[in-house]
């Protein structure tokens, strides 16, 4: 894991088109601004985990997610 220190207003660039900005720091809370192309999914970890669990439950009930249109 790469660990970087940034101050309020400073940025981190990830790949092409993804920029994280430290918007504010208050105590142990950090607010981040994220700029990314529309095709890049950005989720908080707990939201991503919930989506994975819901998809797994959906599939265990015999459903399939269609990802391509013929």
Angle at 53 between CA 48 and CA 54, to 5 degrees: 95
Position 66 confidence tier, pLDDT thresholds 50, 70, 90: low
Across 53-57, average pLDDT: 86
Residue 18 burial by Cβ neighbours in a 10 Å radius (0-12, 13-18, 19+): middle
Which pLDDT band holds residue 61 (cuts at 50, 70, 90)? confident
Pick from 37, 30, 35, 29: nearest CA to 13: 35
Structure tokens that stand for 14 in this block: 């990830």
H or E segment and range at residue 11: strand 11-14
Show the tokens assigned to 60: 């265990």
Predicted local distance difference test score (pLDDT) of residue 42: 94
């Amino acid at each position: 894991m790469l660990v970087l220190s940034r101050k309020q207003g400073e940025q981190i660039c990830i790949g092409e088109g993804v920029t994280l900005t430290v918007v504010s720091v208050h105590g142990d809370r950090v607010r981040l601004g994220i700029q990314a192309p529309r095709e890049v999914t950005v989720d908080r970890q707990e939201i991503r985990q919930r989506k994975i669990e819901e998809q797994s439950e959906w599939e265990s009930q015999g459903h399939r997610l269609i990802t391509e249109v013929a």
